[in-house]
Structure 1
Amino acid sequence: MHTLKRAFDSLSVRNFRLFFLGQLLSVTCTWMMVIAQDWLVLELSGDSGTALGVVTALQFTPVLLLTLYGGRLADRHSKRRILVLANLTSGTLSLLLALWLMLGEIHLWHIWLFALLLGAVNSVEAPTRIAFVGEMVGNELLPNASALSGAYFNAARVAGPAAAGLLIARLGVGPVILLNACSYLAAVAGLALMRPAELHGPPSRPPGARIADGLRYVARRPDLVLPLTLVGVLGLAGFNFQLTLPLLAKTEFHTGSSAFGLLSSSLAAGSLLAAFAATARRTRPTAAVVTGSALAFGATEALTGLAPTLPTACLLLSLTGFAMMYFAQAANHRIQLGSDPAYRGRVMALFTLIFMGTTPLGALLTGWLSDHWGPRWALSTGGLLSLTATALALTLTPASEPTRTLDNSRT
């Protein structure tokens, strides 16, 4: 019982509790929109993996261009205000797409346009949101709050796709996207009700904070470079389930939107368990934990591509989701807890850039592999590439490393 209580320590902080509840509702509906958007693209393109790869690439391309600037903004200005503006903007864009879909004639390029615009907003919102967690709870509760953030994200990934599959079949794509537009108000309300005096912001926000200073800071830190490199390789090669799962459902198992939602929920269910497992963490994870979890991810993803039946695929995706989230959380905690708070916005922007910015290239590559060899090969190839990269990283990982506390992890 005491262990279970410790898993939710961060929710005793009022500001984080408001943030958590608002994000849980908003992100659940966002995942519903992702499923709706991808299903619509497949319908309009005749089940084209390339078309799905293009929309995914457009959604994440702004990350390559704007995320570092977003981290600079987060270090110079109020993160809470940035998040309010970002959520209002995303909600407006989702509302326009929903109205266009329900009242007018939708074409593939319309979806691509809105994916690009939403990606631009996300490139500022994502690094700001990640860095804001520490301001809400302080360094001592940061690992727990970060893990709980992963938990709400993956709870949303379980509920969102499952609900989307049912709602798309009953109501169509437009109402699902409209529901997502309304859900951003929950995130804005949570942010607006916070008490600014209870935030743990840095002593000062340097007006001259530059992107180059953050990059030089990271370059001097090999303990940050290694997990960032692994995040980049696995993000490029392995984290392309938004593309492979709808193709797997339609072209390999010949099922409908409900089965697509089931595959996505299976991946998210494993991720949710891993996020809860990470809530017990109170110290900075070692490099061996990061590389070990990456190795497990590569192996399980490669096996998923060989799954002969839908139930087997769901089981393997649950294991893959667990390994994926455990790796992502370990890398996040190692990087964030090892960074000076004055640089944290820019460091986590670099993390976001690498984590999400590799998706456009990975989506195009995975789309091409899926069209030519099928989604099974795309999955297994991603897993094997992740395994190879992790095996190389293991040769650079020290055999042993002292565990450092939160106070000692900042340099």
Structure 2
Amino acid sequence: MQRVAQSRLVLELTGSGTAVGPAVRAPGQLREGLAHVRRTPELAVPLLMTAIVGCLAFEFRIALPVVARKTFGGGPTTCGLLTAAPSLPLALAALTVTGAVSVALQSTGNTTPQLNSLPSVRGRVMALWSVAFLGSTPWADRSPGWSATGGAAATPSSRTGRAVTTS
């Protein structure tokens, strides 16, 4: 809550919170947004980190079945055990910590680009953040499936986990 209040204060004091009308579509706007991110380390670093976290942390739905089969020689039951905690209190504690860290990461990752971008390109920067956060996950989902099939063509993400655990 305090971080949100600080962010709002920064927006008010710097004039960054001033409403800017919708941008008129024009050629080169995506390049302009990318150039702004490249010139601004306060934007480039968080966007890069968001893409890395999106690739490495949010592909567990696909990686766990591969680990269950390839590492432990198991199937769906082993995969289920990998996602389960030995007791309810431990599961609740793990979920609480995981949820808190996830919310902190997402809110900080969302706020930082907004505060550090120019109002004229803020929408484009936030679109890049969305691609970095959400758009990196489907690509990362394919890598465990690709490695599990020995480098064969990757199947769609929704089927990779099922194919790995049932074969």
One fold, TM greater than 0.5? yes
C-alpha distance in 2 between matches for 1:340 and 1:352? 17
- 2:64–2:79 CA contact under 8 A, matched in 1: no
Distance 1:316 1:230, change over 3 A: same
Q: 1:363 offset after TM fit, Å?
A: 1.4
Q: Render the CA deviation track for 1:12-68: whole Å, top value 9, x for unaligned.
A: xxxxxxxxxxxxxxxxxxxxxxxxxxxxxxxxxxxxxxxxxxxxxxxxxxxxxxxxx
Which of 317, 320, 334 is residue 98 of structure 2 equivalent to?
320
Instruction: Supply the AA of the counterpart residue of 1:214.
Output: G
Highest RCO, 1 vs 2 (Cα 8 Å, sep ≥ 6): 2
C-alpha distance in 1 between matches for 2:4 and 2:127? 26
Matched residue pairs, number? 130
C-alpha distance in 2 between matches for 1:352 and 1:327? 14
- 2:63–2:144 CA contact under 8 A, matched in 1: no
- 2:117–2:125 CA contact under 8 A, matched in 1: yes
C-alpha distance in 2 between matches for 1:206 and 1:220? 23
C-alpha distance in 2 between matches for 1:231 and 1:327? 9
Pairing of 1:237-386 with structure 2 (within 5 A): 237-240=56-59, 243=61, 251-252=77-78, 308-309=85-86, 311=88, 312-367=90-145
Distance 1:341 1:223, change over 3 A: same
Which of 176, 186, 205 is residue 23 of structure 2 equivalent to?
205
Q: 1:206 offset after TM fit, Å?
A: 3.5
Q: State the secondary structure of the residue aligned to 1:341.
A: coil
- Does 2:48 correspond to 1:222? no
- 1:232–1:355 CA contact under 8 A, matched in 2: yes
Q: 1:334 offset after TM fit, Å?
A: 1.1
Distance 1:204 1:342, change over 3 A: same
- 1:224–1:334 CA contact under 8 A, matched in 2: yes
* TM-align CA RMSD: 3.9
Gaps of 5+ in 1: 10-133, 141-199, 256-304, 373-411
| TM-score, length of structure 1 as denominator length | 0.27
Structure 1 runs (4+) greater than 4 angstroms displaced = 6-9, 244-248, 305-308, 366-372
C-alpha distance in 2 between matches for 1:315 and 1:323? 12
Distance 1:308 1:210, change over 3 A: closer
- 1:240–1:359 CA contact under 8 A, matched in 2: yes
Q: 1:306 offset after TM fit, Å?
A: 8.8
Q: 1:332 offset after TM fit, Å?
A: 1.4
| TM-score, length of structure 2 as denominator length | 0.60
C-alpha distance in 2 between matches for 1:239 and 1:330? 17
Distance 1:328 1:7, change over 3 A: closer
Q: 1:341 offset after TM fit, Å?
A: 1.5
- 2:114–2:126 CA contact under 8 A, matched in 1: yes
C-alpha distance in 1 between matches for 2:21 and 2:95? 44
Distance 1:251 1:364, change over 3 A: farther
- Does 2:77 correspond to 1:231? no
